[in-house]
Amino acid sequence: MPITLALDIYGTLVNTDAIKTALPTYIDNKADIFAQTWRAKQLEYTFRRGLMGAYKDFSNVTKDALDFTCKTHNIQISQEDKNALMDKYLALDAFPDVTPALTQLKQKGARLHAFSNGLSQDISKLLLHAGLDNTISSIVSSQDVQTFKPDPRFYAHFIEQTQTTPDSTWLVSSNPFDVIGAAACGWQTIWVKRNPSAVFDPWEQAPTLTVSKLTALVQIAALWERD
């Protein structure tokens, strides 16, 4: 069976840090901490809602996290600017290694699927903007199961939707919580360590492989030397 790659989107294929370029100029002196707070709170809200069974789609979670961030840093942002920031989440650029990596992986016969907390229509727009739409076979979204990573139900849904098996599926993600969630469900995992100083959680699950760039996957024999 060809290998199946479940590709995380935010922070793995597209650069969420680029949101800083869309921040209003009047908060330039707080751009780094603003972007960090927004992303951290966005993820925290997905964890909370997954545990509570109180699903809100990723776009609304992101909006709530933006409102929290503005209040935390005592920054007043107009609704127009907030809308522009939300639109930027549909137009994030891919990391430089992504397009050549996905092109080569597809040529080698890998089945490439987007696997994201984001809404299907939002991921579709994002992939189109980043020029990745022609490399992706399908989009598996959390909206289908009304929960978020690392809920085991979402990983099970991916297996069902793509008609694959856990042992032939590799998660590709820069998010340790995602890698741990997939590993706990019996998947093979690849941690994309985009930040050299990033630390993986000291849990019982560790990534099967660790790479700094997606292009390294093309040369990893373990991915291809399978029955």
DSSP string, 43-89: HHHHHHHHHHT----HHHHHHHHHHHHHHHTT----HHHHHHHHHHT
17 labelled catalytic = no
Per-residue pLDDT of the chain (227 residues; tens, 9 = 90+): 678 999 999 999 999 998 988 888 888 789 999 999 999 999 999 999 999 999 999 999 999 999 999 999 999 999 999 999 999 989 999 999 999 999 999 999 999 999 999 999 999 999 999 999 999 999 999 999 999 999 999 999 999 999 999 988 999 999 999 999 999 999 999 999 999 999 999 999 999 999 999 999 998 867 766 54
Q: Write down the pLDDT at residue 227.
A: 47
Contact at 8 Å (CB) between 35 and 19? Answer: yes
pTM beyond 0.85: yes
Contact at 8 Å (CB) between 30 and 73? Answer: yes
3-state secondary structure of 109: coil
Domains and CATH numbers, the chain: 4-14+92-224 (3.40.50.1000), 16-88 (1.10.150.240)
How far is it, in rounded angstroms, from Cα 81 to Cα 67?
12
Close Cβ partners of 77 (under 8 Å, ≥ 6 residues apart):
24, 27, 70, 85
How far is it, in rounded angstroms, from Cα 205 to Cα 187?
11
Active-site residue identified among 8, 97, 122, 178? 8
How far is it, in rounded angstroms, from Cα 23 to Cα 40?
17
Q: Write down the pLDDT at residue 28.
A: 79
Q: Write down the pLDDT at residue 221.
A: 65
